[in-house]
């Protein structure tokens, strides 16, 4: 038997995760040529057959990660013009305002995102 002990505000149901992911999409702009997943879903039942719960912010962080990867991929693309490089760099630097960076990236790892 697995017992999850956490304050109610730290747990969420799968439907809440989908809503959180989609809400975060509204705050972020993907790199050119990228599209948000058309269907976001989270498991409702775990491998033990019990209902799944998710930590608050889990889905928001997943959306932030997808966004960051889109811009990181664009940064690595060859033949960017100077203007494109500046625009991409601004997007990558704005990671510091995301839920992922503020809540989920530990201090020792933050320099990886700061350069």
- Residue 3's pLDDT band (cuts 50, 70, 90): very low
Contact 44, 14 (CB under 8 A): yes
Which pLDDT does position 43 carry in this prediction? 82
**How far are the Cα atoms of 1, 14, 58, 59 from residue 49, in angstroms, in the given order?**
11, 15, 21, 21
Residue 2: pLDDT above 70?
Answer: no
In the chain, % of residues over pLDDT 90: 30
pLDDT tens per residue across span 59-69? 899 999 999 99
What would the DSSP string read from start to end of 35-62? ---S-----SB-TTSSBP-EETTHHHHH
The rounded distance, in Å, linking the Cα atoms of 29 and 54 is 25
3-state SS assignment for residue 76: helix
In whole angstroms, how large is the CA radius of gyration of the chain?
A: 17
Q: Dump pLDDT digits (tens) for 38-57.
A: 888 888 888 888 887 778 88
């Amino acid at each position: 038997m697995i017992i999850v002990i956490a304050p109610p505000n730290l747990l969420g149901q799968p439907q809440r995760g989908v809503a959180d992911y989609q809400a975060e999409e509204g705050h972020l702009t993907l790199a050119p040529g990228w599209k948000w997943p058309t269907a976001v879903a989270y498991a409702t039942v775990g491998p033990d057959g019990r209902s799944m719960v998710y930590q608050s912010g889990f889905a928001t962080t997943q959306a932030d990660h997808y966004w960051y990867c889109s811009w990181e991929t664009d940064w690595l693309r060859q033949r960017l013009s100077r203007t494109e490089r500046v625009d991409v760099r601004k997007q990558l630097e704005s990671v510091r305002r995301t839920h992922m960076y503020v809540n989920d990236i530990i201090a020792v790892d933050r320099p990886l995102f700061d350069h």
